Structure 1
Amino acid sequence: MLNVTVDLDVCQNHGQCVFAAPDVFRLDDSGHLVYVASPDAELRDDVEEAADVCPLQAIRVEG
């Protein structure tokens, strides 16, 4: 099972993850990050890319 966590205390809502994995990450109407904590395994490459491009390295991928 793929698990995603974002340290929302570190995240500054730059949105780079949204571009890398739009099926998992999005910005809400207030501009704050919302994400799917247990996305489908086939999205692993996109999620790992999102973690790599996060300027603050706030995203963790496990599983």
Structure 2
Amino acid sequence: MKVVVDEEKCVAAGQCVAASMEVFDQRDEDGIVVLLNENPPAELADDVRQAAAVCPALAITIVE
């Protein structure tokens, strides 16, 4: 699994962080997504998929 984020689409809702704080964070200055791990371990896969699903801006893409 590879995670790709589009910072340009991000609306700083923070849903990704709530779903998987091991993989996503937000910049302090504007709340835009920060990808902490583009290749998360298998045990985080469900959380990462949930983060992509709940992103209101569809800024997270998962490549299997």
Same fold (TM over 0.5): yes
RMSD: 1.1
Runs of 4+ in 1 over 6 A off after TM superposition: none
Question: Where does the alignment leave 5 or more consecutive residues of structure 1 unmatched?
Answer: none
Q: Distance in 2 between matches of 1:39 and 1:24?
A: 7
Residue 44 of structure 2 corresponds to 43
**What are the ranges of 5 or more consecutive residues in structure 2 without an aligned counterpart?**
none
Partner of 2:25: 26
Kindly state the Cα deviation for residue 38 of structure 1 after the two structures are TM-superposed.
1.1
**Total equivalences in the alignment:** 62
Aligned to 1:12: 11
Cα distance in 2 for partners of 1:41, 1:16 equals 20
Which stretch of structure 1 is more off in the superposition, 51-60 or 26-35?
Answer: 26-35
TM-score (norm 2): 0.86
Question: How many percent of aligned residue pairs carry the same amino acid?
Answer: 45
TM-score (norm 1): 0.87
